[in-house]
Structure 1
Amino acid sequence: MSSRQKSGVFQDSSSVTSRINYHSTAFADSMPGLAAPGATSQRLAHLEEHGFVIITDFVGNPWIPVLREAGRRITEACAPEYGYSKLDCSKGYVHRAKADEAWAIRGLIHPAFGEPCFAQFLGSPDFLNFVDSWCDLKPHELEMTAMLLWCNPRKNEHKLGWHRDATWWGTGEPHRAQRVDRGSTLDDYSEEVEKIRWKEIQEKNAKSLQERNGVSLFLALVDEECHELVPGSHKRWRTPFEHDVLLPKKMKDMGVPYTPSWNGIDPLPDQVAIRLKAGEALIRIGSNIHTGHTVPEQERNTLSIGWSKWEDPNTKEPMVADARYAWQLDPAVREALPHKWMKIAWDRWAEKQKLGETLEDRYTEFDIERIKGGELVGWRGELERQAVEAGEKWEPFQTLS
């Protein structure tokens, strides 16, 4: 057992009882030494060293059972067999796995979802006090950011591929869900280019830790251990083994040099599962190597929530919104926000975005197929009407005629 495990940061799986046969060989739990609220020096040091920290600021908070039950209702309503009969999920963006089961749900603050508690909690003194304790930010300084609910498919195991939430190849530009650019040339994945991107990622990480111009956390509404990561992988050069794990198969087939190391099944060296109790939350640095892993027999009901600091008035032309966030441009979202300052925060976010002109810019594949099948849903504009009329003749990324 490593010295870090002996210190209590990580526990060997042989010393704990888990209801799930996870691939991880170790687990990370909350620590008494990190219990003091806010951005303490101990918490920040742990975050900088390991790439994550587990906080306990919301344990026992009365919002947790309220959000838990709302999350369960939404997850149930998004089951594929209901289509849009229980909840018009085309007003959000529901990530679906095998058999169209939901594994992540966006749209929680849209009034069509019928659960105002999510917007209320986002603007509550309890959550704002936490944001202030972590970032020293007040409501008038905030800009809207993303919110989603992590859930588990009820019938099938689901696991994402190992990845970083950072573009470590090519130009380094962030990608949008509807037009994912994973690079197309050998140069995009050359070690020279990768090292340039890695230097940029390190600089961004350091700035983020120092300035803390926002915070996003995974707030567990039930006990869960579904997030897996490799501690410290956010700040060191990847190993040959990790390069094999991260490198897309397409680029391997094209001839990008790599060392075959992983069979696609075995645990990664040093990986841990983050074990959260209800009310505990994970704050992490997204450039660490991580994945999500759920099984039908254990509920996942975890809220990803946060605020960002508003920088300056936007002087650039609005960009087509990432399809995952297009729903949030609906003015109905703004009107449903419970406070004036939240509407201003929405305005600051929305002025940088514009709604795309294709179905792929607005919807998941599940919604697109239903629109082409004759259901007028989502924005219900001329684009959707023409797609309904055209049916299967409607082409990918087709625009209005």
Structure 2
Amino acid sequence: MARSPNLEALERDGFIVIRSALTTEQIQELRDACQKVTAMARKGEWSNVRTLPKQFPPWNIPKGTNPAAEGIWGVQGMMHPSMLEHELFTATYFSDALINPTKELLQCEDDELVMELFNLLVRPDHNFELRWHRDDISEKATPEEELQRLGTPAWHTQWNLALYDDESLIVIPGSHRRARTDTERQADPYENGLPDELHVQMSPGDVVFYNNNILHRGAYNSEKERMTLHGSVGHVKGESVRARNVLQHGLRDWVDQCDFSKLPTSSRGRAEGMRRRLIELARKSGDVGYSLDG
């Protein structure tokens, strides 16, 4: 399969922005749905949320308590069968707008794809930042350990789909191909202004695909509306490399219940195959633990 300019840019920089992936009508439909979901979550009526000030899973919420009591910055499980508007979110996840670039970047076809994560990142209840990190490599890793892990194929795509203007993703281009520099290792975890850092500028309908082991962080303004759909799609060759990154979010508890009956015929077979491969991944994986602490 020929290598595309998008793939070359992803491999060089660690991210690629595809402009205007959605129509104006699709953006508005998703905004309306996300507003309902966010309102539900802020009222404490959805337990699977990203709680402030915690950065990474597990978001442990004691039973019988309000999951949004301390504020939230994300909503998990957009394809869960009990989620409001889950049919719209499911159709979006399996749509050509997201799957075609995924196949281009992974250089594969539908029958090699694996269903993974689909969440919503929202305006936090107070200003909130993530520390510099790689999604599946500990900050305690030595340079040799980083290089060994970074030398392994990613076997997935990860993306943020903006429904409003969004510049909260901060990356260091090219850092997915090298160990951290001394400056990066010694910097404050929330350092602003590291050499070469870049705020990824996104307009409504834009989607950024990025290597999840690029050195990156997030900075979220509580006064600026944010609704950014955040997901990933795997490749069958990922197997154990992807199992922890995906299954730490609890998908194995409900993925078999996802409803694909309202999907267009052209997407339904794709969705069923991707789910089947995720279930098989979960079956082969034991207790995967968590990628990061904090």
TM-score by length of 2: 0.76
**1:221/1:240 CA distance change after superposition, 3 Å:** same
**1:336/1:296 CA distance change after superposition, 3 Å:** farther
- Cα separation, 2, equivalents of 1:307 and 1:345: 9
- Cα separation, 2, equivalents of 1:220 and 1:58: 10
Shift of 1:286: 2.0
- Cα separation, 2, equivalents of 1:122 and 1:278: 17
**1:164/1:335 CA distance change after superposition, 3 Å:** same
Q: Quick check: 1:226–1:300 contact (8 Å CA) kept in 2?
A: no
Structure 1 partner of 2:275: 346
One-letter amino acid matched to 1:198 = E
Deviates more, 1:322-331 or 1:69-78: 322-331
- Cα separation, 1, equivalents of 2:105 and 2:262: 23
Structure 1 partner of 2:133: 163
Q: Quick check: 2:236–2:277 contact (8 Å CA) kept in 1?
A: yes
Q: Deviations over 1:355-398 (max 9, x none)?
A: x999xx9xxxxxxxxxxxxxxxxxxxxxxxxxxxxxxxxxxxxx
Corresponding residue pairs, total: 263
- Cα separation, 1, equivalents of 2:12 and 2:107: 22
One-letter amino acid matched to 1:230 = I
Structure 1 partner of 2:21: 58
Q: Quick check: 2:260–2:271 contact (8 Å CA) kept in 1?
A: no
Q: Quick check: 2:123–2:223 contact (8 Å CA) kept in 1?
A: no
Structure 2 partner of 1:220: 162
Q: Quick check: 1:160–1:291 contact (8 Å CA) kept in 2?
A: yes
Structure 2 partner of 1:147: 118
The structure, 1 or 2, with the larger RCO (C-alpha pairs under 8 Å, 6+ apart) is 2
Q: Quick check: 1:334–1:343 contact (8 Å CA) kept in 2?
A: no
Cα RMSD for the two superposed structures: 3.3
Percent identical pairs in the alignment equals 22
Q: Quick check: 1:337–1:343 contact (8 Å CA) kept in 2?
A: no
**1:112/1:243 CA distance change after superposition, 3 Å:** same
- Cα separation, 2, equivalents of 1:237 and 1:310: 27
- Cα separation, 2, equivalents of 1:265 and 1:216: 24
Shift of 1:97: 0.6
**1:266/1:143 CA distance change after superposition, 3 Å:** closer
Q: Deviations over 1:291-349 (max 9, x none)?
A: 1111111111111234323349x89xx99x84413465353225667324423321221
Q: Which one of the candidate residues 240, 252, 258 is aligned to 1:333?
A: 258
Report whether the alignment pairs 1:122 with 2:93: yes
Q: Deviations over 1:70-128 (max 9, x none)?
A: 1221112100xx222xxxx23xx311114532212211111211211010122334444
Structure 1 partner of 2:79: 109
One-letter amino acid matched to 1:233 = S
Q: Deviations over 1:207-245 (max 9, x none)?
A: 44xxxx542211111111111122222223322221123
Shift of 1:203: 1.5
Shift of 1:263: 8.8
Shift of 1:167: 1.9
**1:300/1:327 CA distance change after superposition, 3 Å:** farther
Structure 1 partner of 2:10: 47
- Cα separation, 2, equivalents of 1:228 and 1:288: 10
- Cα separation, 2, equivalents of 1:62 and 1:132: 25
One-letter amino acid matched to 1:83 = G
Structure 2 residue matching 1:146: 3-state secondary structure: strand
Q: Quick check: 1:149–1:302 contact (8 Å CA) kept in 2?
A: yes
Report whether the alignment pairs 1:83 with 2:83: no
Q: Which one of the candidate residues 162, 179, 203 is aligned to 2:151?
A: 203
**1:200/1:118 CA distance change after superposition, 3 Å:** same
- Cα separation, 1, equivalents of 2:232 and 2:262: 15
Shift of 1:131: 3.4
| Consecutive unaligned residues in structure 2, runs of 5 or more | 54-68, 290-294
**1:133/1:49 CA distance change after superposition, 3 Å:** closer
- Cα separation, 1, equivalents of 2:189 and 2:210: 27
- Kindly name which structure, 1 or 2, has the bigger radius of gyration based on alpha carbons: 1
| Consecutive unaligned residues in structure 1, runs of 5 or more | 1-37, 170-188, 246-261, 362-401
Q: Quick check: 1:216–1:307 contact (8 Å CA) kept in 2?
A: yes
- Cα separation, 2, equivalents of 1:302 and 1:326: 20
Superposed, 1:166-177 pairs within 5 Å as 166-168=136-138
